[in-house]
Amino acid sequence: MFDRRSLLKAGLVGGVGLPVAAGTAGAAGTQGRFTHGVASGDPLARQVILWTRYVPAAEEIATLGWEVATDEGFKTIVRSGTVKVRPDRDFTAKVDVDGLAPGKRYAYRFRDAAGLISPVGETLTMPEGRSERLRLGVFSCANLPFGYFNAYGHCAARDDIDLVVHLGDYIYETPRGVYPSAQEAVGGRIIEPGNETVTLADYRARYASYRADLDVAELHRRKPMIAVWDDHEFTNNAWRDGADNHQPETEGAWPERWRAAYRAFCEWMPIREQAEGVIYRRFDWGNLASLIMLDTRFIGRDKQLDYRPVLQGVDISDKTALAEALRRFEQEQLRDPKRTLLGEAQENWLRQQLAQSKARGVTWQVLGQQIQTGWFRMPPELPDYTRKDLPDSALGWIRTGSLVGGHGLPANLDAWAGYPAARDRLVADMLAHANNAVILAGDTHSAWAFELAGGPNGRPAAVELGCTSVTSPGMERYFDGDEAVRPVLVSANPELKWCSIGPRGYLSVAFTPDETQAEWLMMKTIRERTTELAGKVEARLAATAGAGTEHLKFAS
C-alpha cells in the first residue's frame, strides 16, 4: 500500500496546471503542460494501460518519458520508455506497459523533455492463483452540471478499493442548459462545448471539461479503471444503427457521429483498444473473480421498442381492446426470438468466457454491463404515490408504465426486459456456464438489488446489484421518498429485493471465496463539494459454487 500523503507530495499538484482546451496546441508560456493528470486502466496480470494528456508549448509533436516503480519515491524503477503525443490523438498518450509482476501495486509518472513531471499515479496488476479478496468501486451516470462528483472523491480517498468499474454515461452529450436546465444546474459546473456534442471536436472538448474536474482527476490518479460506455458517450438511447437523439437531417450520418464519439472515447479513456467498436473483454482476479465486461448498448443491439405506437388509437378504458393490443405487441414484437441485445458474436463470446471461468474453478463470474437485467414493472397503483407537483410529461410516463405493468409488461423497454428472448438466453448461459453469477448494472440513476429467477431448488439464477448515479437525478424526482414507494415496488416485482430511489452515490462490492458483500453508499449532497455520507445499505451473498447463488441478506 502506498502512502497517500507521500504521493501527494510527489506530484499530485505539480505539473497539472489549468486545463487546456481539447484539440489545441500552444499552451501559454514556453513550456508544455500536463493538462488533465494521469490515469490507468484495464490491468492484467502483467500489463496495465497508463494514460496522460500533454500539450506542447509550440511544437505539434512531443516525446514523453514514462516510468513505473514499486515505490512512490521511484527508487526502484521496473519499467520505463517513451511515448509521443500528437494533435491527431488530441495530445493524449497511452502506454500498454508489460513485463510487470502479478498482484503488485505500482507508482507511475510521465516526464517531458524539459524535466516537467506529471502527477504520480497509483495502479496495480491482477493477481494469479489463489486470491482472498477483491473490492470494486462501481459507478455510472455522472452528469457534470447536475452537481459535484462527490462519489468519485469518496472512493478515491479509500485505500480498501482495488479497482473502479465504470458502467457508462461517463459524459453526457446534451447541450448546456438542457439536461440539467439552467435552473437545475449547479453554479460553476460548466461543460464545453455549449452545444450538443456531434463532431469529433465536440466530443473531445466534452471529455476535456469532465476530466478537468478535481474528483475525476483524483479518482483516475489513485485507482485503475475498467470502463464501458452507455448511450450518453454517443447520444441518448443509442442502438446499433441510430439513436433517439440523433437527427440525420441536421446532425449528419449516424456512422460519422458514432465514429467521432468512439474515437474520443478511445483517446480519453484508459482502455485497451481492440477492433473498432469492440469493448467487451474479460479480466481475471486470480481464481476469485472473472470480471466480464459487456456492450449492451451498441454493437449488437436492435432498436428499442416503444409503447406509444402500440397504444395509439386504443381506447384504454376498453379493457378488452387494451389487453388484446398489448398481447399482440408482446407476442409479435417484444418476445421475437430474433431480437438481440448483445449480438450473436458477443453472445457466443460471453458463453465461452463463462465456461472457461467455471472450468478454471473461479468462484465468481461478474458481469459488468450497462443496463438493468431484473424484471421490473410499475404496479397500477404507482401513480397514487407521485409528487403532487409532478409535470404532466413525467406523470404521463408513470401512468403508461403502470398501465402496461398491470398486464405484466416491463416499464423500461431500453433495458434487458425490452429484449426478453435475449434475456432468457443470458439466464440460461449463466445457469449452465457459471459457478456464481453476479451482474453489475447502471443506467437507471437508482439503486437496486434483484435475484433473477430460474435457478435450481428455488435459488436465483444470478444476483444483480444496480448502482445509483453519481449526479444524474433518479426516481426521487417523481416520488416523496424511499420509505413510501419501496414496498410498493418490491411487492409488485418478485425478483426485486430492495431499491433506493434517493441520494446519489456509488456501489462498493467486495468478493471473497465465501461471500460477496455489497454496500450502496449515499452521498449527503451533490450541490456542494463534500465527501460526507448520508448513509449506506449493506447486503451479503454467500458463495455456493456449482449450484447457483444463495439469497441476498440485507443488514438490519
The 10s digit of each residue's pLDDT in 28-70 is: 456 899 999 999 999 999 999 999 999 999 888 999 999 999 9
Residues 6+ apart with CB under 8 A from 550: 459, 541, 542, 543, 544
CATH number at residue 65: 2.60.40.380
Distance CA 279, CA 370 (A): 12
Domain annotation covers residue 66: yes
Between CA 444 and CA 473 the distance in angstroms is 9
Using one digit for the tens of pLDDT, what is the confidence trace for 272-302?
Answer: 999 999 999 999 999 999 999 999 999 999 9
Domain of 89 in residue numbering reads as 1-125
Query: Considering the domain boundaries, does residue 62 fall inside one?
Result: yes
DSSP state of 461: S
Question: Grid cell 449528419 — which residue?
Answer: 252
- How does pLDDT run across 328-355, given as a tens digit for each residue? 999 999 999 999 999 999 999 999 999 9
Residue 94 has pLDDT above 70, yes or no: yes
Average pLDDT of the segment spanning 10-34: 50
Comparison of pLDDT for 286 and 11, the residue scoring more: 286
Q: At what angle do helices 254-268 and 200-211 cross, to 10 degrees?
A: 30
543 part of a folded domain: no
What end-to-end distance do the CA atoms of the chain give, in Å?
33
What letters, b where the CB count within 10 A reaches 16 and e where it falls short, cover 306-322? ebeebbeeeeeeeeeeb
Average pLDDT of span 243-248: 97
pLDDT at 457 over 90: no
Give domain status of residue 383, yes or no: no
| Residues of the chain above pLDDT 90, percent | 89
CB 467 within 8 A of CB 447: yes
User: For residue 264, is it within any domain?
Assistant: no
CB 397 within 8 A of CB 311: no
Cα dist from 36 to 23, 132, 209, whole Å: 13, 35, 10
**pTM for this model (two decimals):** 0.95
Look up residue 403 and give its three cell numbers. 398501465
Residue 72's pLDDT is 95
- Contact predicate 124/104, CB 8 Å: yes
Residue 10 has pLDDT above 60, yes or no: no
Strands (E), 265-322: 281-285, 289-293
- What's the confidence (pLDDT) of residue 556? 53
Angle value at C-alpha 62, between 275 and 276, nearest 5 degrees: 10
User: Which pLDDT value is given to residue 458?
Assistant: 86
Work out the angle at residue 228's Cα, subtended by the Cα atoms of residues 65 and 294, and round it to the nearest 5 degrees: 130
Give the separation between CA 84 and CA 549, rounded to whole angstroms. 48
Q: Is 117 within a domain?
A: yes
Asked whether residue 41 is assigned to any structural domain, the reply reads yes
Q: Which of 198, 210, 193, 276 is nearest to 53 (CA)?
A: 210
Name the nearest CA neighbour of 292 among 232, 228, 231.
228
R_g (Cα) of the chain, nearest Å: 23
Residue 386 carries which DSSP code? B
Mean pLDDT value across residues 242-264: 98
Residue 86 lies in a domain: yes
- Look up cell 452537481; give the residue: 147
How many beta carbons lie within 10 A of that of residue 201, not counting itself? 16
**In which region does residue 23 sit, left (phi positive, over 0), alpha (psi from -120 to 50) or beta (all else)?**
left
For 43-60, give one letter per residue: b (16+ CB within 10 A) or e.
bbbeebbbbbbbbbbeee
The model's pLDDT over 101-116, given as tens digits with 9 standing for 90+, comes to 999 999 999 999 999 9
Going from the C-alpha of 534 to that of each of 42, 99, 554, the distances in angstroms are 32, 43, 18
pLDDT of residue 148 exceeding 80, the answer is yes
Mean pLDDT of 243-254: 97
Q: Are strands 505-511 and 515-523 parallel, antiparallel or unpaired?
A: antiparallel
**Number of domains within the chain:** 1
Asked if 243 and 59 touch (Cβ cutoff 8 Å), the reply is no
Taking only the tens place, the pLDDT of each residue in 414-455 is 999 999 999 999 999 999 999 999 999 999 999 999 999 999
Of 235, 26, 233, 133, nearest to 512 (Cα)? 133
12 pLDDT band, cuts 50/70/90, is: very low
Question: Is the pLDDT score of 490 beyond 70?
Answer: yes
C-alpha cell at 305: 421498442
